[in-house]
Amino acid sequence: MKVLVCCLVYGNRPLDIIYNNLENAGMDFDFGFINTEGIANAMNEGLDYAFEYDAIAYLANDIEEPVDWLVKKVDALKTYPEAGIVASSLDNHKTHIESEFIISNWLIKREVVDAIGLFNEEYFPYGAVDLEYCQRTWLAGFKTYYVMSCKANHIGSHASGNEYGYSKEEMVNKYWAKYVNEIEEYRNKTKDIKICKK
């Protein structure tokens, strides 16, 4: 599997975590650094470069991945039932395979991107970007999994904090009604699940 690893480095956090993660991937890959404000905007920039790859991985500069994280994720993407996106768990070691909402450093199959397109940049700079993308992934017929034996360590809080100059919690609250409404529209097929460039 040919993988592009996109390192998201917006902000002033040191890059040592990124470099350690790259060294611990356990397999060959191509990579690039993205320094763009807005979670969805940065992830979409990665998608701009990923058209020739089988999968795209994201690395945040505040998540420490385990040894061989990319090998484990690639194996999961290939073997878990209908897998479209996989990620390392941030909370605990997974004891069974279960499709669920996932956050954190994703590995996304090319077919998912082809089916549902871009991340929703209307949630700027932060919001329920990952939850919304999971929902569209499911509606396209794929599943999303945390990978067994692949627990990462988040430096700080993934649910709160203002290290980028805004409150994550406030941003999620700001866009929550929009998220709920859009998911209903996707389910009712009154809004296309595929987001394309404007």
Residue 21, Ramachandran bin (φ over 0: left; ψ between -120 and 50: alpha; else beta): alpha
**Cα–Cα distance for residue pair 165/173, rounded to 1 Å:** 16
Identify the pLDDT of residue 167: 83
Structural domains in the chain, sorted by start: 3-188 (3.90.550.40)
What is the pLDDT, as a whole number, of residue 161? 57
- Separation CA 122–CA 96 (nearest Å): 34
Gap between the Cα atoms of 126 and 170, Å rounded: 9
Look at residue 111 in the predicted model and tell me its pLDDT: 97
- The answer to whether 76 and 86 are in contact (CB under 8 A) is yes
Per-residue pLDDT of 71-109, as tens digits, reads 999 999 999 999 999 999 987 788 889 999 999 899 999
Positions of the chain with pLDDT lower than 70, given as ranges:
156-164
